[in-house]
Amino acid sequence: MKIVQAIKKGDEPFVFQNSNQLKEPLVLVFGNRYMLESEHIFNEVRALFPEGHIVFGTTSGEIIDDKVLEGTVVLTAIEFEKSKILVKRCKD
């Protein structure tokens, strides 16, 4: 399993904590509701992980490494060595 984490503050680009090339990762994106409502966030994440299975969730505090932050967007991308994943969308 390979893992990559990144953090976004305000209008700044994502800053990666580490780097790995991932193949079809599960990309978990957590953040402040107001930041996640921006359509630019999805487009930015999609550009970073064009083959990724992207899942968003809102939080009242984002965790990266051993820190808890507020008012940010944090992503964790995971490539599984042997497991297959399938992400579905539900209608509103």
The pLDDT tens digits of the residues spanning 8-59 come to 998 899 999 888 889 999 999 999 888 899 889 999 999 999 999 999 999 8
Q: What pLDDT does 92 receive? A: 64
User: 26-31 and 53-58: which strand pairing?
Assistant: parallel
Residue 62's nearest CA partner among 30, 38, 91, 39 is 30
The pLDDT tens digits of the residues spanning 51-81 come to 999 999 998 877 777 777 778 999 999 999 9
Task: List, in sequence order, every beta strand (DSSP E) within 1-92.
Answer: 2-9, 15-16, 26-31, 53-58, 62-64, 67-69, 72-79
The domain spans of the chain are 2-79
CA–CA–CA angle 84, 90, 92 (5° rounding): 160
Instruction: Give SS3 for 72.
Output: strand
